[in-house]
Amino acid sequence: MSKGLLIVVSGPSGTGKGTVCAELLSQTPELAYSISATTRQPRDGEVDGRNYYFLDREKFEQLIADGGFLEYANVYGNYYGTPLGKIEERRAAGQDILLEIDTQGALNVMEKCPDGLFIFLLPPSLPELERRIRGRGSETPESLARRLGAAKQEIEIGRRYTYVVINDTVRQAVSRIKSIMVAEHCRIDKEEVIAEVLNNENE
């Protein structure tokens, strides 16, 4: 059995990562979601243990000291991290795992898991990104300017990812990611498939 894919999706704040990943999971029930931990406060509608593990700073820093994260980062004053948990165990069993993390975290995962599938999600344009962030209604003028400035730097980091996907519509973005997953499975399964065909040459 081939090892499952570690699919890392990230991109600038406001790109729609959460919406795209939720729809991808809805359409791909065999895909497992790795829930991240964070010290930020929950947003409206977010549930502990479903959207994030919401931890206080002391607990998070203790887990860092214990080596309990695949990656972690401090973003805008809050910690975010990927608990090690059963990620590798699930992958060894052939299950694909989805990580939705920021670019800082993705760069750390690239170091530890170079066999990961890294997908960078982009907005159609920077003005559209600003419109989406404003639409949240939760940003001050200062935080909006900070996020837009950071977005330009993060977009440059996208060059280091395996694939770049434009999130013009959720439907199209999800379709592209699913196509990427199929192609990657064909690539990593090729040795197994070739061996099976050669072993059955007398049939």
Enumerate domains of the chain plus CATH numbers: 6-199 (3.40.50.300)
- Taking only the tens place, the pLDDT of each residue in 41-86 is 999 999 998 889 999 999 999 999 998 898 888 888 999 988 887 7
What angle do helix axes 17-27 and 170-188 make, rounded to 10 degrees?
A: 60
Q: Where are the beta strands (DSSP E) in the chain?
A: 6-10, 32-33, 37-38, 53-54, 69-75, 78-83, 97-100, 117-122, 163-166
Report how many helices (DSSP H) and strands (DSSP E) the chain contains, helices first: 8, 9
- Enter the pTM of the model: 0.78
For residue 98, CA distances in Å to 46, 56, 116 come to 18, 24, 10
Task: Return the closest-CA partner of residue 99 out of 172, 131, 108, 183.
Answer: 108
Task: Return the closest-CA partner of residue 4 out of 110, 117, 150.
Answer: 117
| pLDDT for the residue numbered 135 | 67
Higher per-residue confidence, 181 vs 12: 181
CA-to-CA distance for 38 and 141, rounded, in angstroms?
Answer: 24
CB 99 within 8 A of CB 9: yes
Mean pLDDT of 104-114: 87
CA-to-CA distance for 26 and 159, rounded, in angstroms?
Answer: 28
Task: Return the closest-CA partner of residue 54 out of 76, 79, 77.
Answer: 79
Is the pLDDT assigned to residue 137 strictly greater than 70? no
| pLDDT for the residue numbered 1 | 62
Mean pLDDT of 150-167: 90
Higher per-residue confidence, 133 vs 56: 56
Task: Return the closest-CA partner of residue 36 out of 68, 65, 62.
Answer: 68
| pLDDT for the residue numbered 86 | 73
| Token representation of residue 124 | 């159609």
* 193 three-state secondary structure: helix
Is the pLDDT assigned to residue 201 strictly greater than 80? no
Write the DSSP string, 83-130: E-TTHHHHHHTT--EEEE--HHHHHHHHHH-TT-EEEEEE-S-HHHHH
Most confident of 113-122, 138-147, 183-192: 113-122
